[in-house]
A and B are shown apart, each in its own frame.
Chain A
Amino acid sequence: MAYSELIKNFARIRDYMREFYVYGFKSRDEYGAKSARSYDNERRRIESWLGDYMAFRQDAAGKNVFLSVDSRQIPHNPLYKAFKAKSFTNKDITLHFYILDILAGGHALSCRQIVDRVSGEYLSRFSGAFFPDESTIRKKLKEYEGLGLLQAEKNGREVFYRRTDGEPFPLSSWADALAFYSEEDPMGVVGSFLLDKLDKGPDVFRFKHHYILHALDSDILCQLLQAIDRRRSVELTVQNLRSGHEYRRTVCPLKIYVSTQSGRQYLLGYYYRGRRMAFFRLDAVKKVATGGEERQYDTYLGYQAKFDRHLWGVSAGAGHSLDHIEMTVRFGPGEDFIAQRLEREKRHGTVEVLDGRTCRFTADVYDASELLPWLRTFIGRIVELKCSNPVVTDTFYEDLRRMSALYGGGGDAVQ
């Protein structure tokens, strides 16, 4: 099949874009499971969509291709472009413009009337052009009804179709909101579609700490949001990101947890078979199959509210038992921002001011090891660290010893 920059299936390009964006040190040969030709085609496509952000490096191991973006400097997430590259047939694009044009006057027409006009007024101008049969057009009309572009009205036995934009939508009043939410909302790709409808969107916003990779999971997220909205169970096909092993889980989807400090998104659901709450990273979810309505939905939401009270991040640890952790930090004159940091970053923990220069943070969480990265951000100021799980304090001090050794300090000085 001839190469095209458009794609039919999103799954494969999703994997490649993630690899190029996050890793970027692999050479062609290291994309082992996929064929060399497949690699070349996918790389060429991504280069066609995102050429401005592609970079190349040649070294002894071969040529490396990677995506490098300072997302603070750009107004639009470039990864959305992948969602604008869906392939289609000649009939699809032709009927799209014909049907919307035929119905542009605001009146309703039956499928038969539309077929007659397509053939008589549009295609008749082209010799050798295809003439779609009635069933093809009927299928397209139903598809567009499903998308919300058309609405169907029954008159006797006949169905009439009309465009849904009888009243023009005030999209221009949304321009600034679209510029903001298309980047900031987890389903921002929809905003990007809408911005494409405006002649020139405003260039007002930039975004710091802006994680853009989630864009590639928008389709999965969209399906989960719909299931949550309709209170339906879902069967997830999940791929372990390290082993590649695929497995399935049937869950009641409840919430989407989003990290603003890594860009990762997770589904929190009630896992029926395990009879417990479970998190699933959205970038590991390959497929979502929506099941039946969940009658116990409110009960599971209640479990979630209770469960959330002792989460630090997205780990429930082993057996949902609680770790108690305390960290005391001391700061110097003019460093009151440390107390402010504790207050704004404490999540479900509490902060106690011991004196003008010392604060104690306390929390009871399922998995205190999740706090380790955050605790390390206070290195230099921690005067006491206690945890009911000794692995946490042992790891903290052992890491500190190794860090000291890395930078030429006497690691032994750190106990």
Chain B
Amino acid sequence: MGVAAMLFSEIYGSYFNVVAAVLAEAAEGCLTEGSLTELVQKKAFAESVLAIPAALKSGDWPLLGKNFEPVIRHKPTMPLTTLQKRWLKALLLDPRIALFAPDAAGLGDVEPLYKPETFVWFDRYADGDPYGDENYIRCFGTVLQAVREKRRLNIRFHSRTGARHAITCIPYRLEYSAKDDKFRLLAAGTRRDNVINLARVEFCELLEEYDPDSFRLPEKNLYELVLLLHDERNGLERVLLHFSHFEKETRKLGDRLYQIQLRYDQEDETELLIRVLSFGPVLEVKAPAEFIALVKDRIDRQAAHTFTNGGTIPRY
């Protein structure tokens, strides 16, 4: 049997995972009607609670005795499948794996599922992070540890303009962008929140733990963009796929006319502006007024440039 046929398999399914958790709890002698329901609600789907407890209690799945004692003798475990091992082996060939340094034991004679060169990321930006740089790897590891262990950090970094900064902060996430091929550290500082490109960090040092209960994630400054979509040149699909990573709502207003509302972080306004411009007249910004003004400004500036071209459409 090939790997392909095995991806969609019940052995990876929520039901098998939940039942394993139930049997593990039963093996410890602490499974009750209540904990059974709780486990199913926590680990499976919304309606699983209608199916799993009933099947276990009725004996349709003869895995639990009358007093919730397990029929099996060991805590349930499952070996890794060939697909899982081959996927892990493929990750070992990725340059970013140096940031994680996992234990590769058990994968010695495993063939990777794919090789890195099988994928072509044709529109990824060319100035990605230096994953082979020792200082970068060291800083990444320290930041990762700080986020995981909820500790403060001392960081020295340089900004886009080259100015050097040193701050003490609470790092709470590492954010990765596939398009930029960059990691950014999201950190709460004493005076302001910081988004720091990890490649600009020169030094970082772990400090003491902070009280996670007293820390609140900074709130994003979200705005709502309202767009009219004129569906031409397959614009509907192109636009909806392109903006699919935003929280959004689409309404059909008429024949080939749609309204899209999406919420964006104010910090990303310029990036969103050029993304909207990239669709040309397929997209028309209806709100907010400030965003419309930005679009108009770009178009007016371009019109002026074009006008100075002598009013002709240059041809090669």
Give Cα A390–Cα B123 distance, bound, in whole angstroms: 24
- Segment of B30-38, B97-105, B151-159, B198-206 engaged in the interface with chain A: B97-105
Residue contact B244 to A211, C-beta cutoff 8 Å: yes
Q: Do residues B123 and A261 form an inter-chain contact, with CB atoms below 8 A?
A: yes
Question: Are A147 and B126 in touch, CB under 8 angstroms?
Answer: no
Q: Which residue of A lies closest to B177 (CB)?
A: A208
**Is A382's CB under 8 angstroms from B302's CB?**
yes
- Nearest CB of B to A108, in Å: 14
Partner of B62, one of A96, A123, A343, A413: A123
A397 touches B175 (CB 8 A): no
A308 at the interface (CB under 8 A from B): yes
- Assuming the contacts A94-B63, A206-B173, A386-B315, asked whether A147 and B125 have C-beta atoms less than 8 A apart, the reply is no
Tell me the smallest distance from the CB of B236 to a CB of chain A, in Å. Answer: 8
Tell me which residues across on chain B come within 8 A of A211, comparing CB atoms. 178, 241, 244-245
Give Cα distance in the complex from A126 to B148, angstroms: 46
- A291-314 contact mask (Cβ, 8 Å, vs B): 1 or 0: 000000000000000001001011
B105 to chain A, nearest CB (A): 6
A243 an interface residue at 8 Å Cβ cutoff?
no
B-side contacts of A337, CB under 8 Å: 160
Chain A binding surface SS class: mixed
A251 CA to B286 CA in the complex, in Å? 45
Q: Is B60 an interface residue (CB 8 A)?
A: yes
User: B178, A207: Cβ atoms under 8 Å?
Assistant: yes
Asked if A260 and B178 make an inter-chain contact with CB atoms under 8 angstroms apart, the answer reads yes
Bound CA span A171–B308, Å: 63
How long is the Cα–Cα vector from A150 to B1 in the complex, in angstroms? 14
> Is B39 interfacial (CB-CB < 8 Å)?
no
Do B4 and A104 touch (CB < 8 A)?
no
Indicate whether A98 reaches chain B with its CB closer than 8 angstroms. yes
Residue among A87, A90, A213, A372 making CB contact with B244, cutoff 8 Å: A213
Cβ-closest chain A residue relative to B275:
A377
Contact B295 A407 (CB under 8 A): yes
Contact B249 A84 (CB under 8 A): no
Docked complex Cα distance between A337 and B79 (Å) = 50
A sample of 23 inter-chain contacts (CB < 8 A) reads: A21-B244, A68-B248, A69-B245, A81-B45, A86-B10, A88-B16, A93-B19, A148-B83, A165-B79, A169-B80, A174-B103, A187-B90, A190-B113, A206-B175, A212-B244, A218-B7, A225-B118, A262-B241, A330-B305, A337-B160, A343-B126, A373-B280, A377-B275
